Structure 1
Amino acid sequence: MMAEGPSVVLRLPKIRKAIVASPEPILWFSKTRMEIEMLWLEGLIRDARC
């Protein structure tokens, strides 16, 4: 399930209906996740330089 990624979530009917009804929380989560990943990568780069 982890290997297939986010597409697995869309197969679940209740979650799929919730996403279609209100996409804003998913967009917020996606944006926040991207920001956290960027900060994490910047930290790795800084650690490699030191």
Structure 2
Amino acid sequence: MTKLMSWFTDTVSFISGAMIRIFGATDDEYPATGIQPYSGDPSNEH
């Protein structure tokens, strides 16, 4: 019975952790990029 309760507790903890990760606030820390100027040469094919 103790093993069953332990398995159930671990399963609920795993699923709730996944739900929090999916639906929680983002923790992405991407740098602010803004507008990037074009510094290449135009193509002569067109």
TM-score, with length taken from structure 2? 0.50
| Runs of 4+ in structure 1 over 4 Å off | none
Matched, 1:44 2:13: no
How many residues get paired?
Answer: 26
Rg comparison, structure with higher value: 2
Unaligned runs of 5+ in 1: 1-24
Unaligned runs of 5+ in 2: 27-46
State the identity %: 4
Higher relative contact order (CA 8 A, sep 6+): 1
TM-score, with length taken from structure 1? 0.46
Q: CA RMSD in A?
A: 1.7
